[in-house]
Copies of this chain bind each other. A is one copy, B any other.
Amino acid sequence: MKADILRAIRSSTDYISGQELCERFGVSRTAVWKVIKQLQAEGYDIEAVTNKGYKLLSYPDNISGCELMSRVNTKWAGRKVYFHKEMESTNEYAKYLAEEGMDHGSLVVAEMQTGGKGRRGRTWISPAGQNIYMTLLLRPLFSPDQASMLTLLMAVSVAEVLHHLHSDLEVKIKWPNDVLIGDRKVCGILTEMDAEPDYIHHVVIGVGINVNQTEFPEEISSTATSLRLEKGEHVDRAQIILGVMDFFEYYYEIFAEHLDVSDFVEVYDSYLVNRGREVRVLDPKGEFEGVAEGINDKGELIVNLPDGSVRTISSGEVSVRGIYGYV
């Protein structure tokens, strides 16, 4: 109800009366008043004028569930937000919620992670209050071998949001799922699933975005960046989260019809940092080098080899010449 009241005040161009809020949400005046007091205590500047009602003058930089749910405009992606200041890992918490039966599209958000994860068991550095650590829970009706494409959809959603909000930045994607500014990593994506061989129970897509972090540990200081470092100013996190939900929902619904990424090849390739560059592929069957051309309808990376042959890569590590070996 708190998010609903905040949304009502937020979306009203003029003052909204306490009476109207009571009627709309079927609660008492005291209940409304208590919520307003809470919001004010959290930093929302809500003006209260007798006989007129409430008006939101400003709001804090805040990624709480209440804030996000009062601003979300999607049908299902991120409409329910599970926010905690501290989590071990948003992916692990989302898996737990999945077991508890939470809906497709539920979003887990944390201010910090004590055990943030990267791909293949690596660590994702997750200091408090600066960045975005979120995980979207999905219950897809397609089969596990199609889940790899969800990672690409998320990568392109993040790239699109960053590009649209910050058009001065050179946003790139390193196949399959890292988002870069220039040649430095600003976002990582970790997709995990719980599945039977032909049936997905649930998928969680974790997204870590370096937003306002200004200092990085030495081992990644030359390969990682943040939006703040690139722009030289503080960046609003909630807007990015909400934007990613918008783009991802839109793309997901298109994807779910065709079950391939044919509709996204062009936009994905337009961000692809690997494109036209020499890449080294650490294939399980042996390392090889070539020039990346783009992705195909299955989301595989097309690589042209020096001997004129073409290989497609569905998994494995790819490093790009001139770019540090990102995780």
Contacts and interface: CB of A to CB of B under 8 A. Distances in A.
Contacts of A196: 119-120, 190-193
Interface string A309-327: 0000011100000000000
A148 interface: yes
Interface in A184-203: 190-199, 201
Contacts of A38: none
A192 B99 CA distance: 14
Contacts of A147: 144, 197
A40 interface: no
Q: Is the interface of A mostly helix, strand, loop or mixed?
A: mixed
B192 A315 contact: no
A188 B150 CA distance: 31
Given A143-B315, A144-B145, A197 B151 contact: yes
Contacts of A144: 144-145, 147, 193, 195
Interface string A173-214: 000000000000000001111111111010000000000000
A100 to B, nearest CB: 14
Interface string A135-151: 00000000111011011
Interface of A: 119-120, 143-145, 147-148, 150-151, 190-199, 201, 314-316
23 contacts: A119-B196, A119-B199, A120-B196, A144-B145, A144-B193, A145-B145, A147-B197, A148-B197, A148-B198, A151-B197, A190-B196, A191-B196, A191-B197, A192-B194, A192-B195, A192-B196, A192-B201, A193-B194, A193-B196, A194-B194, A195-B195, A198-B315, A199-B315
